[in-house]
Amino acid sequence: MKFEVENKDDGVILHLEGKIIGDSAAQLKQILEEQIDSDVKWIILDLADVPLMDSSAIGTMIMAFLKLKEKNGKLVILYAQKNIQEVLSITKLNTLFEIFDNMQNALQSVKSI
């Protein structure tokens, strides 16, 4: 998995690329924890270039979501591909995460906190 961190005021847009399976969930956990520990208020997870994500990676997103919520912050998802949307729907996690299909709406949501 490749990633790029785009810093924006009090938050970050995290652009991820590649399948997040196997040991990539641990890599994602490390990246998210580093951002949360650096006191960002919000994270937008850009999944446009992520074709597949396993349940360990989804668990990592839940962990980051809860940690940010504890600090009155927010994590949202941007551009989830069809397969990932299906998994989030099956697990009902589409009721937990806000999922956006355009950047402007995602930014509006995280900046409203």
Integer Cα distance of 53 and 46 in angstroms: 13
Query: Cβ closer to other proteins: 91 or 108?
Result: 91
* Interface with other proteins, residue 75, by CB under 8 A: no
- Helix extents (H) in the chain: 24-37, 55-70, 82-90, 103-111
Specify the amino acid at residue 58.
I
* Interface with other proteins, residue 56, by CB under 8 A: yes
Q: Supply φ then ψ for residue 80, to 5 degrees.
A: -75, 130
Query: Cβ closer to other proteins: 8 or 19?
Result: 19
Least CB distance from residue 24 to other proteins, whole Å?
8
Least CB distance from residue 10 to other proteins, whole Å?
25
